[in-house]
Amino acid sequence: MNSPSTQYVTPRRLGIYEPIHQMSTWVENFKSNGNPNTSAPIIVESEDTSHGSQGPFCKYEQEASKPFDKIQRRLAQNREAARKSRLRKKAYVQQLETSRLKLVQLEQELDRARQQGLYVGSGVEGVHMGFSGTVNSAFEMEYGHWLEEQSRQICELRNALQAHIGDVELRILVDAGMSHYFELFRMKTTAAKADVFYVMSGMWKTPAERFFFWIGGFRPSELLKVLVPQLEPLTEQQLIDVCNLRQSCQQAEDALSQGMDKLQQTLAETVAAGQLAEVGYNPRTGTAMDKLEALVSFVSQADHLRQETLQQMSRILTTRQAARGLLALGEYFLRLRALSSLWANRPREPT
């Protein structure tokens, strides 16, 4: 691009804020011309001489054929973008620094706790002390395997239903699916006996799943609400049976929930009265430790309710419906877990 006329460049902040591509354009042109274009001297009137990195050449020679305002606007936008980029980087670095400090703090706390031989909270592989911690990390690993197997079974069910395989083979898949859930309940019983608070906390599940938590797992009546619409059409008798099951389930849940409330209340009373363990034992109300033991039975009963609900549904439905039901259930939990990931990775404004 040769500019035959003289260009006056009004003062702006040039130099260090110039975008790279304009430089390279100039460089290309310089190479192709062999000499810088000297036929049109450029007069640069710059009041601001503090930006020392401004080079002797002026890029506007190349842009002379373009509208002047457009160039200025683009330059301003680039400057703004560069400024924002620097701010974001600064914020990010600050975040990293804070996190690093936090990490150091946590490591120190961990060391202190280890030295005192206390149980350190779960969720991190290999950083456990004490019996409970060991069992919980074992449970989390087992649960990880359980989830993998669950995914595999869901895929198998989906393919089987699409391929319209026979009832006999489908039954095998359904039975496997049911057994798989029962296996989870067994795992939970073991974990609950070691650390009932851990199982009840739901820390081994994703946040969205935890939102729906009821005594250590999913609510059976919710399960029915999710499943039934996916199973239609149902016969008259099936509808009646499902309706009855839903009602019994709800009643059983209510009873257990009220029992839990009572447990909370009496636990609060024993703690307030200072009856934590055998010292100051009141045989009528029991100790706080006794109450915590009772929690284990509640989790056990809740799991039993889940198991019974699944079994009853399996009894009410045909093999094909049961397969569809298991698929729907598996996909529902998969989506909940996906939702948790989506939420965790949602874009956040830089602070």
SS3 content of the chain, % helix, strand, coil (to 5): 70, 0, 30
| CA–CA distance, 236 with 251 (Å, rounded to integer) | 23
**Interface residue with other proteins, options 73, 225, 262, 335 (CB under 8 A):** 262
Q: Which is nearer to other proteins, 62 or 309 (CB)?
A: 309
Site for other proteins in 186-205 (CB under 8 A): none
Q: Which is nearer to other proteins, 299 or 326 (CB)?
A: 299
CB distance 58 to 9 below 8 Å: yes
By CB under 8 A, residue 147 contacts other proteins? no
CB of 88 or CB of 262, closer to other proteins: 262
Does 142 interact with other proteins (rule: CB under 8 A)?
A: no
Q: Does 221 bind other proteins (CB under 8 A)?
A: no
The site for other proteins, by CB under 8 A, has a size of 31
Task: Give 219 or 291: the residue with its C-beta nearer to other proteins.
Answer: 291
User: Binding to other proteins (CB under 8 A): which residues in 223-252?
Assistant: 241, 244-245, 248-249, 251-252
Question: Which CB atom, from 58 or from 296, has the smaller least distance to other proteins?
Answer: 296
Residue from the set 71, 82, 203, 256 that interacts with other proteins by CB under 8 A: 256
Let me know how long the chain is: 351
Task: Please state whether the peptide bond connecting residue 19 to the residue before it is cis, i.e. omega within 30 degrees of 0.
Answer: no
CA proximity to 178, closest of 217, 152, 150, 145: 150
In sequence order, which residues have a C-beta less than 8 Å from that of residue 195 and are 6 or more positions away? 132, 135, 136
**In whole angstroms, what is the distance from residue 119 CA to residue 123 CA?**
13
Q: Judged by CB, which is closer to other proteins: 241, or 331?
A: 241
User: Among residue numbers 269 through 298, which ones bind other proteins (CB under 8 A)?
Assistant: 283-286, 290-291, 294, 297-298
Question: Which two three-digit tokens encode residue 50?
Answer: 């503090």
The binding site for other proteins (CB under 8 A) comprises 241, 244-245, 248-249, 251-252, 254-256, 258-260, 262-263, 266, 283-286, 290-291, 294, 297-298, 301, 304-305, 308-309, 312
